[in-house]
Structure formats: structure tokens, C-alpha cells
Amino acid sequence: MTVQSDLNEQLLAQTSETGNQDSGSSQFVAFTIGEQNYCVDIMSVREIRAWTGATPLPNTADYVRGVINLRGSIVPIVDLRTRFGQGETDPTKSHVVVIVAIEERLNGLLVDSVSDILTVSAENVAAIPETDVGSRARYLDGLITEEDRMVALIALDRVIDEISVQ
């Protein structure tokens, strides 16, 4: 998938340059779920893969789609749409899994598509407005305005953390 490999290359290139925090701006990988835009800190993203199915895990929460084989490691896939209470994704080959790492643990986020990589300076990340209700708000760390769209910054540790607790 050309888009995917392009993005993976960009990922590699970006993360090997000077780290995020030094220059006062950070980089994020942006993706979409339905009409909405989200992003995660680039430093947690390990790679981006096309959806090729997952083995369902019994006795787990509804947002855990299952597990995949990532070069020998068993990695759980989280349907972010379900996580945000917006129903189930019906994934096809064109859907994307963003592999992220939190403290050595790998997880895959199932999203509709990945858009691009954003570079944003710290002051441009706004707080979540109090009026944003719904389960979504718990999992967000901030809002970024990029050109004409609003991209919500996901708090990965909160999204993933609860998953491990069964």
C-alpha cells in the first residue's frame, strides 16, 4: 500500500531527527474515524499497517477486535470507533491499523485512514472545552487547529490503560 509505506518512511525520517520536545513543537500522526480527525504523538507510533483481519479474543471488551501477529508478537487491536462509543467498524483492506507503543507494550488502533503528519507548536494545542461531553472527552488530551479542521489529540495512556484491566 503506497500511502502506508510513504507514511512509514516519513515516520522513520521524522522520528530520527531531533526529538520532539527540544524545539518547542511536536509532531503527530493524524487519522480519521468517520468525519472526525484525531492524532497521536508521533513518538508512540511504531508503524502503520493495513487491516488484514484479527483473531477475536473471547471474554474481552467489545472494543478489543482481537489480536494480530506482528512479526512474532501477539498485539491486540482496539477499535477506536467502538472505544469512543460510536459503534463498530466494519473493516476492509483499506482500513488502517496504527501500531503504538506505551512503555514497551504494543497495541494496534483500528482507524479509517491515516491522513498525514502534523507539526504543531505547544501553544497551538488547546485544552478540551468543558462542553465536550460524551465518552470521547475522557480519552483526549487537547485540540489542534490545523488549517480548517479540528484534530483531537488522543491521550494514549488513558485509551490503552483501561484495556489491560480486565
Partner 1 sequence: MLELDQFRHVYFQECEDLLGSLEVQLMALQEGAAADDVIQETFRAIHSIKGGAGALQFKRIGAFAHNFEALFDKIRSGETALNPDLVTLSLHAFDMLADLIAAEQSGAEIELGIEDHISEALQEAIGTEQKSAREDRAEAGREVSGASEPDAPTLYRITFRPPTDSITRGNEPLYLIRALKTLGRLSVSADQDSLPLLEDIDPQASYLAWNFELETGAGPEAIAEMFEFVADDSDLSITALNESENADDGRTASADPASNERKSVEEGETSEAGGGSQGAAKSAANPNPDMNESNSRYFGATSVRVDLDRVDRLVNMVGELVIAYSTVLQHVDDRLRMTHPQLVHELSQFIQHTQTLQDSVMAIRAQPVRSIFARMPRLVRDLSDQTGKRVRLKTKGESTEIDKTVIEKLSDPLVHMIRNAIDHGIETVEERQALGKPPEGTITLSAEQIGGRIIIRVRDDGRGIDRERMRRVAVDKNLIAPDANLSDEEIENLVFLPGFSTARSVSDISGRGVGMDVVHQNIQKLGGRVSMRSQPGRGSTITLALPLTLAVMDGMIVRCGDFVYVIPLANIIQSLSPRPEEIGTLPDTGDVLRFRDQYVKLVDLNDAFGTQSAAANDNQLIIIVEAEAGGVVGIVVEEILGQEQVVIKSLEENFSHVRGIAGATIMGDGRVALILDVTAIGKLGGKRPNAGTVAEPGVAELQEISA
2 is written with which cell numbers?
Answer: 503506497
Question: Contact between 129 and partner 1 (CB under 8 A)?
Answer: no
How many of the other CB atoms lie within 10 Å of CB of 17?
9
Report the C-alpha gap between 54 and 34 in whole angstroms.
21
Min CB(70)–partner 1 separation in Å:
9
- Position among 40, 75, 97, 109 found at the interface with partner 1 (CB under 8 A): 75
Residue numbers 40-59 binding partner 1 by CB under 8 A: 53-59
Report the C-alpha gap between 144 and 150 in whole angstroms.
6
Min CB(36)–partner 1 separation in Å:
26
| Residue 60 CA: distances (Å) to CA of 34, 124, 135 | 24, 37, 19
Question: Contact between 82 and partner 1 (CB under 8 A)?
Answer: no
71 is written with which cell numbers?
Answer: 512479526
Question: Contact between 60 and partner 1 (CB under 8 A)?
Answer: yes
Residue 7 forms beta bridges with which residues?
none
Q: What mask, x for binding partner 1 by CB under 8 A, covers residues 83 to 122? A: ----------------------xxx---------------
44 is written with which cell numbers?
Answer: 508512540
Contact positions vs partner 1 (CB under 8 A): 53-60, 66-69, 72-76, 105-107, 163-166
